[in-house]
């Protein structure tokens, strides 16, 4: 599994930087955002260092499918109300123009009662 020794998310996965864990398995890690926009705001990342959605190829399909299938379960676990009254937002910023700040593929799961600080 590849990692970038200078990547903050790789350091979080390795336990070198503390985080508030939401979920972990062999390939995926989820943790609370340190600057949440909403009552529920966590990040879902692959443990493997993938720089962005632009760097995804067919070899990542199974891992991405597992990540997406975890989103509703983890959103409910963390306090998002059920669909259709509740719900959540799933965001993946890609590249500088897309607003990506950390160059490690990640999905923001954002939800909870409105109004939110952003969005």
Sheet strand arrangement including 107-111: 21-24, 28-32, 40-46, 107-111, 88-91
Distance CA 42, CA 21 (A): 9
Residues annotated as catalytic (active site), given as ranges: 106
Contact between 3 and 45 under an 8 Å Cβ cutoff? The reply is no
Displacement of CA 78 from its chain's centroid (Å): 13
Q: How many residues does the chain have?
A: 119
Contact between 88 and 110 under an 8 Å Cβ cutoff? The reply is yes
Distance CA 84, CA 86 (A): 5
């Amino acid at each position: 599994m590849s990692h970038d020794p200078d990547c903050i998310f790789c350091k979080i996965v390795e336990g070198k930087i503390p985080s508030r864990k939401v979920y972990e398995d062999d390939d995926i890690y989820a943790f609370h955002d340190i600057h949440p926009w909403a009552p529920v705001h966590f990040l879902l990342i692959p443990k493997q260092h993938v720089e962005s959605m632009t760097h995804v190829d067919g070899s990542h399909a199974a891992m991405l499918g597992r990540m997406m299938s975890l989103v509703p379960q983890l959103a409910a676990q963390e306090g998002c109300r059920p669909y259709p009254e509740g719900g959540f937002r799933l965001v993946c910023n890609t590249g500088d123009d897309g607003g990506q700040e950390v160059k490690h593929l990640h999905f923001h799961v954002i939800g909870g009662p409105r109004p939110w600080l952003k969005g």
